[in-house]
Amino acid sequence: MKITEVKLILCSPSRNFLTLKIITDQGVYGLGDATLNGREKAVATYLEEYCIPCLIGKDPFQIEDIWHYFYVGAYWRRGPVKMTAISAIDMALWDIKGKALNIPVYNLIGGKSRQKILVYAHAEGKDIEETVDRVGAKIDQGFLAIRAQSGIPGLEDTYGVSRNNAPYEPAVRGNPKESIWDTDKYLNHIPRLFKRLREVYGDDIHLLHDAHHRCTPVEAARLARELESCHLFWLEDAVRGELQEGYRLIRSHSTTPLAIGEVFNTIYDLTTFITEQLIDYIRMPIVHGGGLTHLLKVAAMASVYHIRTGFHGATDLSPVNLAASLHFDLAVNNFGIQEYMPHQPLVHEVFKINYEYRDGHLHIDDTPGLGVDIDEEVAKKHPYQRAYLPMNRKMDGTVFHW
Amino acid sequence: MKITEVKLILCSPSRNFLTLKIITDQGVYGLGDATLNGREKAVATYLEEYCIPCLIGKDPFQIEDIWHYFYVGAYWRRGPVKMTAISAIDMALWDIKGKALNIPVYNLIGGKSRQKILVYAHAEGKDIEETVDRVGAKIDQGFLAIRAQSGIPGLEDTYGVSRNNAPYEPAVRGNPKESIWDTDKYLNHIPRLFKRLREVYGDDIHLLHDAHHRCTPVEAARLARELESCHLFWLEDAVRGELQEGYRLIRSHSTTPLAIGEVFNTIYDLTTFITEQLIDYIRMPIVHGGGLTHLLKVAAMASVYHIRTGFHGATDLSPVNLAASLHFDLAVNNFGIQEYMPHQPLVHEVFKINYEYRDGHLHIDDTPGLGVDIDEEVAKKHPYQRAYLPMNRKMDGTVFHW
Amino acid sequence: MKITEVKLILCSPSRNFLTLKIITDQGVYGLGDATLNGREKAVATYLEEYCIPCLIGKDPFQIEDIWHYFYVGAYWRRGPVKMTAISAIDMALWDIKGKALNIPVYNLIGGKSRQKILVYAHAEGKDIEETVDRVGAKIDQGFLAIRAQSGIPGLEDTYGVSRNNAPYEPAVRGNPKESIWDTDKYLNHIPRLFKRLREVYGDDIHLLHDAHHRCTPVEAARLARELESCHLFWLEDAVRGELQEGYRLIRSHSTTPLAIGEVFNTIYDLTTFITEQLIDYIRMPIVHGGGLTHLLKVAAMASVYHIRTGFHGATDLSPVNLAASLHFDLAVNNFGIQEYMPHQPLVHEVFKINYEYRDGHLHIDDTPGLGVDIDEEVAKKHPYQRAYLPMNRKMDGTVFHW
Amino acid sequence: MKITEVKLILCSPSRNFLTLKIITDQGVYGLGDATLNGREKAVATYLEEYCIPCLIGKDPFQIEDIWHYFYVGAYWRRGPVKMTAISAIDMALWDIKGKALNIPVYNLIGGKSRQKILVYAHAEGKDIEETVDRVGAKIDQGFLAIRAQSGIPGLEDTYGVSRNNAPYEPAVRGNPKESIWDTDKYLNHIPRLFKRLREVYGDDIHLLHDAHHRCTPVEAARLARELESCHLFWLEDAVRGELQEGYRLIRSHSTTPLAIGEVFNTIYDLTTFITEQLIDYIRMPIVHGGGLTHLLKVAAMASVYHIRTGFHGATDLSPVNLAASLHFDLAVNNFGIQEYMPHQPLVHEVFKINYEYRDGHLHIDDTPGLGVDIDEEVAKKHPYQRAYLPMNRKMDGTVFHW
- Using alpha carbons only, how large is chain C's radius of gyration in Å? 20
pLDDT of residue A313: 95
pLDDT-derived band of residue C185, with 50, 70 and 90 as boundaries?
very high
Q: Is D272 near chain B, with CB under 8 Å?
A: no
Above 90 in pLDDT, residue A307? yes
Task: List Cβ neighbours of D26 (8 Å cut-off, separation of 6 or more).
Answer: D1, D100
Which residue spans within B90-214 are E strands per DSSP? 117-125, 145-150, 178-181, 206-210
pLDDT of residue C280: 98
Per the confidence metrics, is the pTM higher than 0.90? yes
Same domain? B71 vs B154: no
Determine which of D81, D264, D392 to mutate to test the interface with A (most A C-beta atoms within 10 Å): D81
Q: What is the C-alpha separation between A21 and A18, in angstroms, rounded?
A: 10
Instruction: Choose, from C46, C71, C120, C159, the residue flagged as catalytic.
Output: C159
Q: Is A141 near chain D, with CB under 8 Å?
A: no
Whether residue D324 contacts residue D349, with contact meaning beta carbons closer than 8 Å, is answered with no
Instruction: Choose, from A122, A189, A212, A343, the residue flagged as catalytic.
Output: A212
pLDDT of residue B154: 92
Mean pLDDT of chain C: 97
- Using alpha carbons only, how large is chain A's radius of gyration in Å? 20
Q: Do D391 and A83 touch (CB under 8 A)?
A: no
Find the closest chain C residue to B393 by CA distance.
C69
Side-chain-side CA neighbours of B169 within 13 Å: the count stands at 19
Q: Do B361 and D188 touch (CB under 8 A)?
A: no
Final residue belonging to a domain, choices A81, A103, A125: A103
Q: Do A78 and D75 touch (CB under 8 A)?
A: no
Considering the domain boundaries, does residue D83 fall inside one?
yes
Q: What is the C-alpha separation between C176 and B74, in angstroms, rounded?
A: 10
Considering the domain boundaries, does residue A161 fall inside one?
yes
Q: Do A333 and B267 touch (CB under 8 A)?
A: no
Chain A residues closer than 8 Å to C188 by CB? 203-204, 231
Q: Is A171 near chain B, with CB under 8 Å?
A: no
Sign of CA dihedral D18, D24, D27, D29: negative
* Angle, CA of A261, D244 and D194, to the nearest 5°: 150
Q: Is D185 near chain B, with CB under 8 Å?
A: yes
Of D120, D111, D119, the residue nearest D330 (C-alpha): D111
Of D273, D245, D277, D251, the residue nearest D261 (C-alpha): D273
Mean pLDDT of C244-257: 98
Whether residue A34 contacts residue A44, with contact meaning beta carbons closer than 8 Å, is answered with yes
Same domain? A225 vs A115: yes
Alpha helices in C102-211 (DSSP H): 128-140, 183-201
Mean pLDDT of A156-176: 84
Mean pLDDT of A50-78: 97
Considering the domain boundaries, does residue B280 fall inside one?
yes
Above 80 in pLDDT, residue A163? no
Whether residue C328 contacts residue C295, with contact meaning beta carbons closer than 8 Å, is answered with yes
Q: Do B50 and C388 touch (CB under 8 A)?
A: yes
Partner residue facing D246 (CB), from B116, B206, B306: B306
pLDDT-derived band of residue C172, with 50, 70 and 90 as boundaries?
confident
What is the ipTM score, two decimals?
Answer: 0.97
Q: What is the C-alpha separation between D60 and D81, in angstroms, rounded?
A: 22
Task: List Cβ neighbours of C55 (8 Å cut-off, separation of 6 or more).
Answer: C3, C6, C22, C66, C89
Considering the domain boundaries, does residue D283 fall inside one?
yes
Mean pLDDT of C333-347: 97
pLDDT of residue B169: 85
Find the closest chain B residue to C68 by CA distance.
B399
Same domain? D320 vs D255: yes
Output the DSSP codes for C42-69.
HHHHIIIIIIHHHHTT--TT-HHHHHHH
Q: Is A155 near chain D, with CB under 8 Å?
A: no
Q: What is the C-alpha separation between C268 and B265, in angstroms, rounded?
A: 14
Partner residue facing D243 (CB), from B115, B256, B305: B305
Same domain? A51 vs A157: no
Mean pLDDT of chain A: 97
Task: Reply yes or no on whether B253 is catalytic.
Answer: no
Same domain? A152 vs A208: yes
pLDDT-derived band of residue C142, with 50, 70 and 90 as boundaries?
very high
Same domain? C218 vs C325: yes
The β-bridge partners of C393 are C180, C399
Q: Is D156 near chain A, with CB under 8 Å?
A: no
Q: What is the C-alpha separation between D221 and D255, in angstroms, rounded?
A: 10
Q: What is the C-alpha separation between C288 and B77, in angstroms, rounded?
A: 12
Chain C residues closer than 8 Å to A258 by CB? 218
Whether residue D216 contacts residue D193, with contact meaning beta carbons closer than 8 Å, is answered with no
Task: List Cβ neighbours of B221 (8 Å cut-off, separation of 6 or more).
Answer: B249, B250, B252, B253, B254
Mean pLDDT of A56-72: 98
pLDDT of residue B167: 81
What 3-state class would DSSP assign to A384? coil
pLDDT of residue B396: 95
Q: How many residues does chain B have?
A: 402
Output the DSSP codes for D144-171.
SEEEEEE--TT-S--TT--STT------
Partner residue facing A101 (CB), from B103, B111, B275: B103
pLDDT of residue C158: 86
Above 90 in pLDDT, residue A172? no
What DSSP character marks residue B159?
T
Q: Is D384 near chain A, with CB under 8 Å?
A: no
Final residue belonging to a domain, choices C103, C136, C156: C103
Same domain? C280 vs C244: yes
Instruction: Choose, from D71, D159, D247, D281, the residue flagged as catalytic.
Output: D159
Partner residue facing B333 (CB), from A64, A108, A271: A64
Q: Is C104 near chain A, with CB under 8 Å?
A: no
Chain A residues closer than 8 Å to D317 by CB? none
Q: Do B61 and A271 touch (CB under 8 A)?
A: no
pLDDT of residue A146: 98
Domain that holds residue D54: 3-103
List chain B pLDDT tens, one digit each, 402 residues.
Answer: 999 999 999 999 999 999 999 999 999 999 999 999 999 999 999 999 999 999 999 999 999 999 999 999 899 999 999 999 999 999 999 999 999 999 999 999 999 999 999 999 999 999 999 999 999 999 999 999 999 999 999 998 888 888 777 788 888 888 899 999 999 999 999 999 999 999 999 999 999 999 999 999 999 999 999 999 999 999 999 999 999 999 999 999 999 999 999 999 999 999 999 999 999 999 999 999 999 999 999 999 999 999 999 999 999 999 999 999 999 999 999 999 999 999 999 999 999 999 999 999 999 999 999 999 999 999 999 999 999 999 999 999 999 999
Q: What is the C-alpha separation between A279 and A264, in angstroms, rounded?
A: 14
Same domain? C152 vs C212: yes
What CATH number is given to the structural domain containing C69? 3.30.390.10
Whether residue D147 contacts residue D122, with contact meaning beta carbons closer than 8 Å, is answered with yes
> How many domains is chain D partitioned into structurally?
2
Q: What is the C-alpha separation between C272 and C278, in angstroms, rounded?
A: 8
Considering the domain boundaries, does residue B372 fall inside one?
no
Whether residue A167 contacts residue A106, with contact meaning beta carbons closer than 8 Å, is answered with no
Q: Is A293 near chain B, with CB under 8 Å?
A: yes
Same domain? C235 vs C218: yes
What CATH number is given to the structural domain containing D347? 3.20.20.120
Mean pLDDT of C179-187: 96
Whether residue C14 contacts residue C347, with contact meaning beta carbons closer than 8 Å, is answered with yes
Chain D residues closer than 8 Å to A50 by CB? 38-39, 41-42, 386, 388
Considering the domain boundaries, does residue B402 fall inside one?
no
Partner residue facing C217 (CB), from A116, A204, A306: A306
Chain B neighbors (3+ CB pairs < 8 Å): A, C, D
Same domain? D35 vs D93: yes
Considering the domain boundaries, does residue B147 fall inside one?
yes
Sign of CA dihedral D315, D319, D323, D325: negative
Side-chain-side CA neighbours of A157 within 13 Å: the count stands at 18
pLDDT-derived band of residue A158, with 50, 70 and 90 as boundaries?
confident
Q: How far is B306 from chain D (nearest CA, A)?
A: 6
Using CA atoms in the order B104, B110, B116, B117, what is the torsion angle rounded to 10 degrees? -100
Final residue belonging to a domain, choices D44, D78, D103: D103
* Angle, CA of C38, C44 and C49, to the nearest 5°: 145
List chain D pLDDT tens, one digit each, 402 residues.
Answer: 999 999 999 999 999 999 999 999 999 999 999 999 999 999 999 999 999 999 999 999 999 999 999 999 899 999 999 999 999 999 999 999 999 999 999 999 999 999 999 999 999 999 999 999 999 999 999 999 999 999 999 998 888 888 777 788 888 888 899 999 999 999 999 999 999 999 999 999 999 999 999 999 999 999 999 999 999 999 999 999 999 999 999 999 999 999 999 999 999 999 999 999 999 999 999 999 999 999 999 999 999 999 999 999 999 999 999 999 999 999 999 999 999 999 999 999 999 999 999 999 999 999 999 999 999 999 999 999 999 999 999 999 999 999
Whether residue A303 contacts residue A295, with contact meaning beta carbons closer than 8 Å, is answered with no
Same domain? D61 vs D113: no
Same domain? D37 vs D114: no
Q: Do D246 and B333 touch (CB under 8 A)?
A: no
Considering the domain boundaries, does residue A80 fall inside one?
yes
Which tens digits make up the pLDDT trace of A228-287? 999 999 999 999 999 999 999 999 999 999 999 999 999 999 999 999 999 999 999 999
Task: Reply yes or no on whether C253 is catalytic.
Answer: no
Q: Is B62 near chain D, with CB under 8 Å?
A: no
